């Protein structure tokens, strides 16, 4: 049986699938050529990340497909319910990349509170001619310890983000429609553990009282953070979106950055992916990454192995 990993899969995942008797194809097939490729090669399993979409028409036109797998959490690029109604297995790897995304949140946070994202733009240009000026510009940083991180969406990734925040001495508030309370356990070296019991706050409380807001929600029909939500946020707050493009109104974000109400933003996902707004890309108060939340070698190994195990259990 042939598995097409169209957006790639780790070597460890390939090896496990081959051990189970599958033929793994890692050729990247263009979206418009997928139907023909799948049918010509009698592909039974299609694995994607965020680049490839699997909509109703592709599902209908590829009768050999038995399984669609998403390497990662969100499955908004797959018509999941329709595929399942047609008898296809649809799987993802919700736990494999959680820690990687959480670490990216803090990569952005540490960078923004010390202006590293802007300093790294300007030091190569002016470091040799305006060193003292740049030193003055970037000498008003803040510490994260003692500050409050508000987390919107408290699933696996939100909880991993909370662990890092608690570990460095931050306060954590969270809002989640479905999770009222959670016990968070931090694992340290030498088998040391510390537990924290957290309870959900209402959204206004999180917005009003957080120094930084981090989003961890699935794709939505409407904005999660728009004009009304920006108004409720603390003056000088920062916002981080490593969730999905379209959950933050980027036009309003730019307005609130320009008027100083929002001190910075960090974006890993964008409304118009893969062609983000040039105004967003050029704003010196926005830290930018190209949707790399799960893109660590450790996460990709975990994703590949988890996909391989699920595929073997479902198709063998």
Asked whether residue 284 carries a pLDDT value surpassing 90, the answer given is yes
Together in a domain, 117 and 220: yes
- Are 105 and 89 members of one domain? no
Q: Are residues 273 and 210 in the same domain?
A: yes
**pLDDT tens sequence across 34-65:** 999 999 999 999 999 988 999 999 999 999 99
Q: Is the pLDDT of residue 270 over 90?
A: yes
Average pLDDT estimate for 273-284: 96
Q: Are residues 39 and 79 in the same domain?
A: yes
* Under 8 Å between Cβ of 91 and 67: yes
Catalytic hit among 15, 35, 103, 273: 273
pLDDT at residue 5 tops 90:
yes
The CATH number of whichever domain residue 247 belongs to comes to 3.40.50.720
Asked if residue 316 has pLDDT above 90, the reply is no
- Among 99, 108, 216, 291, the active-site one is 291
Token digits of residue 60: 């209908």
111 and 253 fall within a common domain: yes
8 A C-beta contact, residue 45 and residue 1:
yes
Q: Which of 216, 244, 252, 302 is catalytic?
A: 244
Count up the domains in the chain and report the number. Answer: 2
Q: Is 273 marked active-site?
A: yes
Residues 301 and 263 occupy one common structural domain: no
Residues 14, 124 within the same domain: no
pLDDT in tens, 144-186: 999 999 999 999 999 999 999 999 999 999 999 999 999 999 9
Kindly state whether residues 160 and 246 are assigned to the same domain.
Answer: yes
Same domain, 212 and 77: no
Question: Which helix (DSSP H) or strand (DSSP E) does residue 215 occupy?
Answer: strand 212-215
Q: Supply the mean pLDDT for the chain.
A: 96
Phi, psi of 24 (to 5 degrees): -105, 125
Characterise 246 by phi-psi region: left (phi > 0), alpha (psi -120 to 50), beta (else). left
Range(s) of the domain holding residue 26: 2-96+297-315
C-beta separation of 109 from 212 below 8 A:
yes
Confidence label for 222 from pLDDT (cuts 50, 70 and 90): very high
Kindly state the DSSP code that residue 129 receives in the 8-state scheme.
T
Residue 182's beta-bridge partner residues?
Answer: 198
Quote the pTM value.
0.90
């Amino acid at each position: 049986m042939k598995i097409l990993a169209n957006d790639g899969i780790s070597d460890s995942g390939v090896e496990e699938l081959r051990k189970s008797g599958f033929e793994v194809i890692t050729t990247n097939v263009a979206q418009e050529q997928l139907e023909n490729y799948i049918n010509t090669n009698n592909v039974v399993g299609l694995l994607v990340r965020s680049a490839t979409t699997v909509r109703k028409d592709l599902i209908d036109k590829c009768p050999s497909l038995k399984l669609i797998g998403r390497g990662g959490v969100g499955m908004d690029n797959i018509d999941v319910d329709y595929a399942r109604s047609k008898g296809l297995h649809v799987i993802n790897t919700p736990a494999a990349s959680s820690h990687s995304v959480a670490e990216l949140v803090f990569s952005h946070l540490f960078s923004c509170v010390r202006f590293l994202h802007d300093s790294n733009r300007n030091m190569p240009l002016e470091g040799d001619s305006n060193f003292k000026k740049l030193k003055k510009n970037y000498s008003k940083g803040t510490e994260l310890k003692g500050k409050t991180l508000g987390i919107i969406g408290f699933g696996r990734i939100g909880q991993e983000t909370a662990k890092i925040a608690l570990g460095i001495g931050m306060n954590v508030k969270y809002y989640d429609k479905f999770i009222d309370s959670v016990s968070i356990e931090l694992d340290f070296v030498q088998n040391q553990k510390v537990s924290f019991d957290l309870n959900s706050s209402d959204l206004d409380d999180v917005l009003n009282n957080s120094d930084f807001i981090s989003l961890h929600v699935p794709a939505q029909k409407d904005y999660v953070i728009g004009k009304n939500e920006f108004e409720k946020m603390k003056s000088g707050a920062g916002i981080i979106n490593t969730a999905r493009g379209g959950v933050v109104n980027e036009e309003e974000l730019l307005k609130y950055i320009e008027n100083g109400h929002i001190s910075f933003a960090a974006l890993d996902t964008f409304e118009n992916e893969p062609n983000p707004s040039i105004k967003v890309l050029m704003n010196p108060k926005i830290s930018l990454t190209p949707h790399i939340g799960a893109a660590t070698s450790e996460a990709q190994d975990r994703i590949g192995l988890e996909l391989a195990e699920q595929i073997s259990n479902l198709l063998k």
